[in-house]
Amino acid sequence: MIASIVRMLRIIFRERPVELKPGARYAATLDLAKVRPGMAEADVREWLLKMGFTPTSKPHIWKAAEPYLSRLPKGSILAAEKL
């Protein structure tokens, strides 16, 4: 019985991939090491600015529209909140 409860909780709380809806703007938490592997963090930040992302006061949270976020590797978006 405990095993079934644990299984149910795993199903409920499992990590789900981030689903982006077209035409929406998001505040996304990014793993900068996965955005552009092999580049320094400062270079990744500069690249994100050139691509149209807007930084926030928190270092790993960037604002962008869905078309910009869809260009990033899937594993680099940790969380996205619709604005």
pLDDT digits (tens, 9 = 90+) for 12-52: 666 666 667 777 889 999 999 999 999 999 999 999 999 99
Question: Is 24 among the domain residues?
Answer: yes
Cα gap 51→76, rounded to integer Å: 15
Residue 40's domain comprises: 18-82
Domain count, the chain: 1
Amino acid identity, residue 47?
Answer: W
Question: At 3, is the secondary structure helix, strand, or coil?
Answer: helix
**Would you say residue 1 has pLDDT above 80?**
no
Question: Is 6 among the domain residues?
Answer: no
Question: Is 58 among the domain residues?
Answer: yes
Query: Using H for helix, E for strand and C for coil, what is the string for 15-80?
Result: CCCCCCCCCCEEEEEECHHHHCCCCCHHHHHHHHHHHCCEECCCCCEEEEEHHHHCCCCHHHEEEE
Band of pLDDT at residue 6, cut at 50, 70 and 90: confident
**Would you say residue 64 has pLDDT above 80?**
yes
Query: What pLDDT is recorded for position 62?
Result: 95
Question: Is 31 among the domain residues?
Answer: yes
Question: Is 76 among the domain residues?
Answer: yes
Question: Is 12 among the domain residues?
Answer: no
At 31, give phi and psi (nearest 5°).
Answer: -90, 100
Question: Is 5 among the domain residues?
Answer: no
Query: What pLDDT is recorded for position 16?
Result: 64
